[in-house]
Amino acid sequence: MIRWSDALAQCQRSDTAHVLVTVIGTAGSVPRNSGTKMLVTAEELFDTIGGGNLELHAVEQARQLIKEQVTGQNLVKFPLAAALGQCCGGHATLLFESFCQTSQTLWLFGAGHVGSALINILSELPLNVHWVDTRADQFPSDINAAIQCHHPDDPTDVFTQINSNALLLIMTHSHDQDYQICEQALTQQHQGFIGLIGSKTKAARFRHRLRHAGLCQTAIDAIESPVGLSEIGGKRPMEVAVSIAARVIQCYQASLAALPEKATLSSQDFTDISKQLTRKPDDLN
């Protein structure tokens, strides 16, 4: 069985919606003690809070939160006998911590001058950043540990790992690679932001080639090229990087603004949690 903690780390790396369910308090006879956790995704379950109807109802409630894209905390009390028909007759209080809008993932293709300048800014933003270059020796030795580096033989190989809503920034050392990445993204019907560095002439040539390849015109037009805010001038690598980073910030801030409000615990919930956490061991069973 995969432990909830290992599954949690994987969900955070892959931007998978998930709910962490914790037994906050117990009274009488219950399947598991306070502090027990399990992690629920839309399709999988990791670890256990004891099985039976309690776990079944907890999983159903967690998956409803994922379906409704609710992010936040909910406290729910389960009387095992009255509500769930379990003969043990105890009570369990569960805390549901749902993470349905995880951090935005960004894939940066290219570790050249602009890419290297840009990565320094991106590492300070609330993003899950992947950095891709076919030249392994291009990555600096002192890179931020949070940046996940990839050096495949073919840059399109990483698309098996890319979420369809991720942000893509394309700025490799090769126009052929840039085109291949754009074509692969459109072929897989990528839904997230796609930004391509370069001149207006390069953008026009790429659009012509993509049309000739039979790709959707609407998707082609969605590629932002040249990428970055035009009002930020300058051609130095850091100036271009700042322009692109500003556009990235616009994108994820717009996404955050469109999210539903987070579920929050009430003052009574905090009082109940405090009582559960301060109960004497003799009171728990």
- Sheet architecture: strand order including 104-109: 148-150, 127-132, 104-109, 167-170, 194-196
224, burial (CB in 10 Å: exposed 0-12, middle 13-18, buried 19+): middle
State pLDDT tens for residues 6-36.
Answer: 999 888 877 788 999 999 888 777 777 888 9
Distance in angstroms (rounded) separating the CA atoms of residues 72 and 271: 18
Cα(115)–Cα(132) distance, integer angstroms = 10
pLDDT category at 159 given cuts 50, 70, 90 is very high
> Is pLDDT of 101 > 70?
no
Residue 214: count of CB within 10 angstroms of its CB: 7
Q: What is the CA radius of gyration of the chain?
A: 24
Task: Convert the pLDDT of each residue in 160-201 to its tens digit.
Answer: 999 888 999 999 999 999 999 999 999 999 999 999 999 999
Helices (H), the chain: 4-14, 52-67, 113-122, 175-187, 200-212, 217-222, 237-257, 267-277
pLDDT at 82 over 70: no
pLDDT score for 20: 96
What confidence score (pLDDT) does residue 281 get? 45
| pLDDT at site 261 | 58
* Mean pLDDT to the nearest integer, 278-282: 49
The Cβ-side half-sphere exposure at 109, using a 13 Å CA radius, reads 31
Domains contained in the chain, CATH given: 4-101+261-283 (no CATH), 104-257 (3.40.50.720)
Average per-residue pLDDT for the chain: 87
Q: What is the mean pLDDT of residues 139-168?
A: 93
Sheet of strand 45-46: strand arrangement: 45-46, 37-40, 18-27, 91-99, 72-79
pLDDT for 99: 87
pLDDT at 34: 86
Of 77, 72, 89, 114, residue with least CA distance to 198: 114
Over residues 210-262, the pLDDT tens digits come to 999 999 999 999 999 999 999 998 999 999 999 999 999 999 888 776 655 55
Token pair 């076919």 is found at 134
